[in-house]
Amino acid sequence: MTSVVSSPTRTIRIGSRKSQLALVQSYWVQEQLQKSFPEISFEVHTMSTQGDKILDVALAKIGDKGLFTKELELGMLNQEIDFAVHSLKDLPTNLPEGLTLAAITERENPADALVVHEKHKDKQIDTLPAGAVIGTSSLRRLAQLRHQFPHFTFKDVRGNLNTRMAKLDAGEYDALILATAGLQRLGMGDRIHQILPKEVSLHAVGQGALGIECRADDSELISLLKAIEHPETRDRCLAERAFLRILEGGCQVPIGVNTEINGDNLTLTGIVASVDGQKLVKDTITGKASNPEAVGAELAQMLRQQGAQEILEEIFTEIQRGS
Ligand SMILES: NCc1[nH]cc(CCC(=O)O)c1CC(=O)O
């Protein structure tokens, strides 16, 4: 099927996962594009991904490469949909041949958030009692928090946001660590008890931003998508993704980042930690915001020299052994 891109009757099909968060994000993108291009019609098509079906296994153990994106990518390559909206942090840093990351939208607060059981409403992350059960399914959060708070008990938590909140409120956990952005997008911003400062938790690469992926040869769609791109978010996220790509990590490895842009300068902080929180390398670099991928690549090399690769190799071996 050839797409009649310049025809005023072209319908653009947006692929979305079926989760509540994915739908909110896809409808938001649809609305933004519809406002910019009233003559084009944008439709949301939903698809289930592997990650939506496997809800009972710790994410780290099943690996994550493309868990939430593969079916949507096949849909694009098969011309069933024209583009896909992803939480950028779930989008692998290497895309399949024929697809491209066409736009990155304005990021919500990328930080992690602490959500507590109501009996801890007067506490913060550093005043929760010893033995407090902290729910997280992310090795990145686990490693960083274990390093600073070895007296907590960490427990995996899966399921959608409502399920996780119900488990917290039922007393299965004392607190959860979740993405601020996800809570805000789902209208649960009032449950955010503390936004974790970067000294406590460096966020995931791309956290809080949406990434829009489409066929690399659909140049007219790519130029339409530029209308909803946020250049500052894009530059920050491209630096973060270059850092992750070179370290060969996915969303489920203990790699965290923070970025800031001041004028022409982009400052990137990165951390690589062992799952037990014992080993940790962290550094910061400032470079040109006009060449974000070079900044990310340079920080990756710096952390490699400080032992990041050894930490990551140990984790891959552990995951393969299924420990
Ligand atoms: N890996 C799951 C995931 N993917 C995107 C978000 C939240 C929104 C975002 O970070 O952009 C979440 C939930 C979480 O980490 O708490």
Number of the ligand 1 atom closest to the C-alpha atom of 179 = 16
In a domain, 271, yes or no: yes
Distance in Å, CA 174 to ligand 1 centroid: 20
Domain holding 304: CATH number? 3.30.160.40
Number of the ligand 1 atom closest to the C-alpha atom of 88 = 11
Closest CA to 14 of 42, 56, 55: 42
Closest CA to 253 of 235, 237, 271, 228: 271
Which of 29, 67, 89, 108 should be mutated for ligand 1, with most atoms under 8 A from CB?
A: 89
DSSP state of 203: B
Same domain as 19, residue 96: yes
Same domain as 225, residue 89: yes
Domain holding 146: CATH number? 3.40.190.10
Which secondary structure element, helix H or strand E, spans residue 145, and what is its range?
A: helix 139-148
Distance in Å, CA 291 to ligand 1 centroid: 27
* 3-24 pLDDT, tens digit each: 555 555 689 999 999 999 999 9
Residue nearest to atom 8 of ligand 1 (CA): 182
Contact residues of ligand 1, CB 6 A cut-off: 87, 89-90, 178-179, 181-182, 207-208, 251
Q: How many domains does the chain have?
A: 3
Of the chain, the end-to-end C-alpha distance in Å amounts to 47
Distance in Å, CA 112 to ligand 1 centroid: 9
Distance in Å, CA 232 to ligand 1 centroid: 20
* pLDDT value, residue 61: 46
Residue nearest to atom 6 of ligand 1 (CA): 182
Same domain as 148, residue 63: no
Q: How many angstroms separate the Cα of 201 from the Cα of each of 146, 170, 179, 180, 194?
A: 11, 26, 11, 12, 12
3 state DSSP class of 135: strand
Residue nearest to atom 2 of ligand 1 (CA): 90
Beta partners for 285? Answer: 268
3-state secondary structure 246-294: HHCCCCCCCEEEEEEEECCEEEEEEEEECCCCCCEEEEEEEEECCCHHH
Provide the b/e sequence for 82-114 (b: ≥16 CB within 10 Å). Answer: bbbbbbbbbbbbebbeebbbbbbbebbbbbbbb
Same domain as 149, residue 99: no
Q: Which residues of the chain have pLDDT under 50?
A: 56-63, 251
Question: Which residues are known catalytic residues?
Answer: 90
Residue nearest to atom 5 of ligand 1 (CA): 87
3 state DSSP class of 38: coil
Same domain as 223, residue 319: no
Dist CA 215 CA 291 (whole Å): 24
Closest CA to 114 of 85, 63, 152, 81: 152
Dist CA 4 CA 1 (whole Å): 9
Closest CA to 271 of 198, 208, 209, 320: 198
Distance in Å, CA 92 to ligand 1 centroid: 14
Provide the b/e sequence for 193-206 (b: ≥16 CB within 10 Å). Answer: bbebebebbbbbbb
Residue nearest to atom 15 of ligand 1 (CA): 179
Max intra-chain CA distance, the chain? 64
Distance in Å, CA 145 to ligand 1 centroid: 18
Residue nearest to atom 11 of ligand 1 (CA): 208
| Full residue range of the structural domain in which residue 135 is found | 112-195
Which secondary structure element, helix H or strand E, spans residue 111, and what is its range?
A: none
Number of the ligand 1 atom closest to the C-alpha atom of 208 = 11
Verdict on whether the full-model pTM lies above 0.90 = yes
Beta partners for 11? Answer: 41
C-beta of residue 179 within 8 angstroms of C-beta of residue 112: yes
Same domain as 178, residue 145: yes
* 207-261 pLDDT, tens digit each: 999 999 999 999 999 999 999 999 999 999 999 999 999 997 654 679 999 999 9
Same domain as 135, residue 97: no
Q: How many angstroms separate the Cα of 135 from the Cα of each of 97, 131, 220, 227, 287?
A: 37, 12, 44, 38, 36
